[in-house]
Amino acid sequence: MWQDILTIHPNCKEDFFNFDEFPGNAGSLIACAGLSILRTEYKIGKAEKNSVNNEQTTPLANVHYLLATKSGQGKITLPNKEVILKENSIAIMPAGTPFIYELNGEHWEMCWLLLHDCASYQFVHQLNADVFTSSDAQKLYQTMSLMREFNHSGGYYEADIILRLVEVLLYQIEQTLDNNSTLTEQQLKFHSLMRRAAKQLQLPWSVTTLAEQMHISEPHFFRLCKKETGMTPIKLLTQYRLDYACYLLKYTNYNLEQIAFTIGYADAASFSHRFKQNFKLSPGRWRNSIPS
């Protein structure tokens, strides 16, 4: 459709959030985020595919976009329509959606989040790229404002406060996406359950226990999981566990026994075997290969 666009006037002010540097595991869910106060000129556009070689043209092609307007006015152009972004508006663009969003007036104050196209947000592909009005916009902006305030504040409880704010933000994102969802009650219940499982990996999750949580048969749960995520329940749980293991290996000093317990493996040997099967490296060698 259109080529990637990045036009930001010096009058624009943006604060960026790197969730890989925050406590918790939000970096595996949020690729990048920011608070923006925009003036004079601001335009961001993402091409769907390169017209020459039919390939994705941006390294952020595999992210879902979520914009929440606090005040002022912006404008978003989607393949089939153009919408004005006013106070309390929320725009959702699933990964692969071509769009342009830009300042439309004297100022536009908003927050934006780029969500990884991961198993936890697989259901976003079933949402239509759209704009709707919700008080969730103010909640998202307020939480991110608090994160900005407490980040690098140097206070004794800074890490604990940031961790709790990140947890609140992730919950607000889930609520925002669910509120705009056209999924059935069963689909919503499934995705809510799997997000809970991803946060409690130390529990002995199995197809049996997951199916019981939803009050459906194991074959029915298996088919539902395959339809919603493209993976079997066990493969999905394994991906959750190994993704979090990579985070712990990279950002903590946990030994292999501690990591194994945290992500739900009986011992370090079982964890190491599964990790090596997936990454072709032992957890220790993988950790040592990370650039310092």
Q: CATH: 2.60.120.280, 3.40.190.10, 2.60.40.420, 3.40.50.300. Which one for 5-182?
A: 2.60.120.280
pLDDT tens sequence across 143-194: 999 999 988 766 667 778 888 899 899 989 988 987 766 778 898 899 889 9
pTM (predicted TM-score): 0.72
| Mean pLDDT across 65-85 | 95
Domain boundaries in the chain? 5-182, 186-288
Dihedral angle of Cα 92, 96, 97, 100, to the nearest 10 degrees: 90
Q: What is the CATH number of domain 186-288?
A: 1.10.10.60
Distances, alpha carbon 211 to alpha carbons 19, 193, 207, 224, 237, in Å: 32, 10, 6, 10, 14
Structure tokens at 91: 């725009």
CATH topology match: 5-182 vs 186-288: no
Tally Cβ neighbours within 10 Å of residue 30.
Answer: 23
The CA distance from 232 to 154, in Å, is: 44
The CA distance from 160 to 249, in Å, is: 20
pLDDT tens sequence across 196-238: 898 899 999 999 999 999 999 999 999 999 988 888 999 999 9
The CA distance from 20 to 26, in Å, is: 7
Q: How many helices (H) and strands (E) does the chain have?
A: 9, 9
